[in-house]
Amino acid sequence: MLTMEEAMKQSTISFVEGEIIEGEVIEIRSKEVLVNINFKSEGSVSLNEFDEDNQPAVGDKIEVLIEVLENRDGMVELSHERAEFKKNWDKINSICEEGGVITGRIKEIVKGGLIVNIGVEAFLPSSQVDIVPPKDLKALVGQKYEFKIVKLNMERQNIVLSRRELIEEERSAKRAEMLSHMTPGDVRKGVVKNITDFGAFIDLDGLDGLLHITDMSWGRINHPSEMVTVGEELNVVVLDINKEKERVSLGLKQKSQNPWELIESKYPVNTTIKGKVVNLVSYGAFVELEPGVEGLVHVTELSWTKKHTKPSEVLEKGQEIEAMVLGVNKDEQKISLGIRQLDDNPWDAAGDKYSPGTTVKGKVRNLTSYGAFVELEEGLDGMIHVSDLSWTRKINHPSELLKKGDEIEARVLEVDRENQRISIGIKQLGDDPWDQIDTVYKVGDLVTGKVSKLASFGAFVGLENEMDGLVHISQISEDRVEKIKDALEVGQEVKARVIKIDKSDRRIGLSIKAAEYDEEQLKREAEQLDQLKPGEDLVALEHAFDAAELTPAEDAVEVETPAKEAPKEEAAAEPEEKATEPEAEPEEKTAE
């Protein structure tokens, strides 16, 4: 039986579906909570509507929304969550208008983000969870955070939250605070956040700084990963600050003394040092003398006598070597080193040992189009220019007289110590037969010889004393000869008459058709030759060979144009290289 007081109170309470009223928890079951709202029957609220940290207890007063006054079982269906939702809308709307912050608990994962309980359900996009979206959203379910309301639609009861904006605002304020107190030279603790090819980004507790690869070590490193790893904690030196752009340059190597400060006293010029080859490039080898200090052995400083085109011919990476300090540039942080300076320079004694006029012996080491290289001693070559092979014969290629491996004698002509060249000659071992030509041949002499070469304008005939004579095409026959090869062939023995001797141009003119002429006829032929046009003339023997045609004879050689020959001054060079063309300097001879 109701008391009079209870009946009076009940009679004054109106119960309308959708209304929010206060009730008392009278029982907690496994899935529901029974609430007394002073109605003829108790109401039930689903237990899932209560947060873990806000579980109801018997006797608690809670607000509920009446959903159904009486269901089939005669029970009142209530909702605490809907009551809170309805009650909180005015509060949320006020916060949103002010751009405020609200606290909520992440309830569950949905497509595209998370559902957050802030008194009502709100949506948190994945991109707004943090500055760097987390990989595992499950770990956030049940966590309580502060959020900023970024969108509110009252009609649709739609709320969009952002935690990222709050974090960015906090970090921005923190960065500004840090920048205001940071000065170059400060040592700060940071964590390696990211590594790139040019450096590493360091998180200075919310402020990112760049540690460039050049500021990681005084020594050589190829990639930042050789010095740091992601997640590593380290102390760095503040080098530069740009407050407007919020950029900070950091350094690691600045924590230790620059090894180049005392470099000149530590590595005096002409001292011998030891080091390890750390890098090979086309122009030389870099040698580490100590951490942070490297010297360069230029490719030209590897040997006094051998011309190396690349350092890998002599050195290899990781090799321990000795070298001599040639120069030190503290400002540019460069040290020039040399290996050949550890040995005596054979060219210092070459001038005395191989003075001009000295007869030397050696082995033919290499043949080029312009001469032959002869090894006089290990590391020293002499070069015989093609023009110094014979007094009387025009040699177009040294292979006409020499081959590799031949042991020969020669006469020293010149020693150029500065350019490291020794010029030698074979013909200088004997006298020049042209000095005594008058005693050997005279105009009118009848001579016998073999055709050695054919040219479009005539034929060369080998005579005694290793001399050659030229039979002009007009002097072959009384009949007109169109092509020289139609009348003569290499190796053919012929008789001819000497019709001209020119000592200044070192040439002998022959005539086959004049072999049987008398003196008067010989005189007329000589005059006729003198009147020939320059293009048809005998030309000097040393140039006539250039137009000689190749023949199938065993001793035939390729004839080259004189304009392509190397000058005689070009002497000692490496076997398979052109001595006349010194290499261009590839790079500086000092360390980078």
Q: What is the DSSP string of 461-481?
A: EE-GGG-EEEEEGGGS-SS--
- Over range 509-537, report the average pLDDT: 69
Residue 172's SS3 state is helix
**Which DSSP string corresponds to 130-165?**
-SS--S-GGGGTT-EEEEEEEEEETTTTEEEEESHH
Residue 196's SS3 state is coil
Residues 353-392: pLDDT tens digits? 888 888 888 899 889 989 999 988 877 888 999 988 888 7
* C-alpha closest to that of 423 among 522, 323, 351, 509: 351
Measured at the CA of 14, the angle between CA 12 and CA 19, to 5 degrees, comes to 145
Fold topology of 263-342? OB fold (Dihydrolipoamide Acetyltransferase, E2P) (2.40.50)
Q: What is the pLDDT of residue 565?
A: 40
Look at 156-160, 470-474, 482-486, 553-557 and tell me which has the smallest mean pLDDT: 553-557
State yes or no: pLDDT of 516 exceeds 50: yes
- Helix ranges (H only) for 55-214 are 80-98, 164-181
Higher-confidence position of 439 and 267? 267
- Over range 88-108, report the average pLDDT: 75
**Amino acid code (one letter) for 328:** V
Label residue 548 by pLDDT band (50, 70, 90).
very low
Does 350-429 carry CATH code 3.30.465.10?
no
For all residues of the chain together, what is the average pLDDT?
Answer: 79
- Spatial neighbors of 150 by CB under 8 A, at least 6 apart, are 128, 160, 161, 162, 165
Cβ-in-10-Å burial (0-12, 13-18, 19+) of 1 comes to exposed
Higher-confidence position of 450 and 120? 450
Q: What is the pLDDT of residue 566?
A: 43
Q: What is the pLDDT of residue 248?
A: 87
State yes or no: pLDDT of 263 exceeds 50: yes
Q: Which segment, 73-77, 293-297, 513-517, 579-583, is predicted with the most confidence on average?
A: 293-297
CATH architecture type of domain 442-560: Beta Barrel (2.40)
CB–CB of 325/267 below 8 Å?
A: yes
Q: What is the pLDDT of residue 355?
A: 84
Residues 266-283: pLDDT tens digits? 889 999 989 999 999 999
**Amino acid code (one letter) for 4:** M
Q: What is the pLDDT of residue 545?
A: 41
Look at 102-111, 154-163, 180-189 and tell me which has the smallest mean pLDDT: 154-163
What is the C-alpha to C-alpha distance for residues 443 and 466, in angstroms, rounded to an integer? 18
Query: Superfamily for 15-83?
Result: Nucleic acid-binding proteins (2.40.50.140)
**HSE-up of 517 (CA within 13 Å, CB side)?**
26
Residues 479-515: pLDDT tens digits? 888 888 888 999 999 999 888 888 777 888 898 888 8
Domains 15-83 and 99-167 share a fold: yes
Q: What is the pLDDT of residue 58?
A: 87
* C-alpha closest to that of 510 among 450, 456, 438, 436: 450
Q: What is the pLDDT of residue 293?
A: 87
Label residue 99 by pLDDT band (50, 70, 90).
low
Residues 310-354: pLDDT tens digits? 898 889 999 999 999 999 998 888 999 998 888 877 777 777 788
Residue reference for tokens 């980078």: 592
Look at 119-133, 148-162, 273-287 and tell me which has the smallest mean pLDDT: 148-162
Residue reference for tokens 């006089």: 376
Residue range 182-255, CATH number:
2.40.50.140
What is the C-alpha to C-alpha distance for residues 412 and 429, in angstroms, rounded to an integer? 10
Fold topology of 99-167? OB fold (Dihydrolipoamide Acetyltransferase, E2P) (2.40.50)
Residues 164-188: pLDDT tens digits? 888 888 888 777 778 878 888 888 8
Task: Please name the helix (run of DSSP H) or strand (run of DSSP E) that holds residue 297, with its range, or none.
Answer: strand 293-298
What is the C-alpha to C-alpha distance for residues 355 and 353, in angstroms, rounded to an integer? 6
CB–CB of 75/54 below 8 Å?
A: no
Question: Bridge-partner residues for 298, per DSSP?
Answer: 284
Residue 195's SS3 state is strand
CB–CB of 87/46 below 8 Å?
A: no
* C-alpha closest to that of 62 among 25, 18, 27: 25
Residue 510's SS3 state is strand
What percent of the chain shows pLDDT beyond 90?
9
- Over range 539-551, report the average pLDDT: 41
Please state the domain extents for the chain: 15-83, 99-167, 182-255, 263-342, 350-429, 442-560
Please state the length of the chain. Answer: 592
